[in-house]
Amino acid sequence: MSTFVLIHGAWHGKWCWQNVVPLLSAAGHKVVAIDLPGLGDDQTAIADVTLSGYGKAVEQVVRAQSEPVVLVGHSMGGMAITQAAEYAPERIAALVYLAAFLPANGEPLVHWARQCEGAELVTQVADDGLTATVDPNVALRAFYADVAPETARDAIRRLRPQALAPFATPVETTPERFGAVPRHYIECLRDRALPVAVQRLMVAAQPCQSVQTLDTSHSPFLSAPEDLARALLNIVA
């Protein structure tokens, strides 16, 4: 049996995994979901939120487990798990990128976000220089296009302002550490936030041991939790 550590994306919190955790647990696995600094229920001040802080928060949880973990990152969470893998490669059995940013050394999230020209989210995020916010109607179309309406409304109410600093900060990785950890990708065909074409460009630049496809938009943990759990279980089978 494996230990899964689940990392959410921008604006979200560990709550987004609530339908996936019991499915993985029912299959006999240990599951840990966390809030990144400044998101979910975490009270870190926005001014103190950094990409390295994300990586260290994930590293702390990874090191607290009794065995090397399967570390799953969604969307912006891909930046966090990438940095964490540089910090603690020996504690990570596999990295799983779920419709996530998969950066090379020296690349910030914005490097790949610029490739998403025309995507719903990129064109309509508002920022005040310190945080970014998403209009509820944009969030509905970009994140939750195939999510049940009541579930989508509840998710939108839980979104928090996203610190901009982690978007602009390059990851710092090496082949000997991050590069030694097996990588897997789960792409989402109908993604309006991070289009599948861009997901595939990242995988082409940073090849993964496996690629699975979900016929969903950006948030399969809410729209198709059973399919997502099955994809994650395939990786550890």
Query: Using one digit for the tens of pLDDT, what is the confidence trace for 135-157?
Result: 999 999 999 999 999 999 999 99
**pLDDT tens-digit map of 27-84:** 999 999 999 999 999 999 999 999 999 999 999 999 999 999 999 999 999 999 999 9
Active site residues: 75, 191, 218
State yes or no: pLDDT of 123 exceeds 70.
Answer: no
What's the pLDDT score for residue 122? 64
Give the DSSP H/E element, type plus range, for residue 129: none
pTM: 0.97
Looking at this protein, which amino acid is placed at residue 14?
Answer: K
45-49, Cβ contacts within 8 angstroms, sequence gap of 24 or more:
46/130, 46/131, 46/161, 46/163, 47/130, 49/163, 49/165, 49/166
What's the pLDDT score for residue 126? 65
Mean pLDDT of the chain: 96
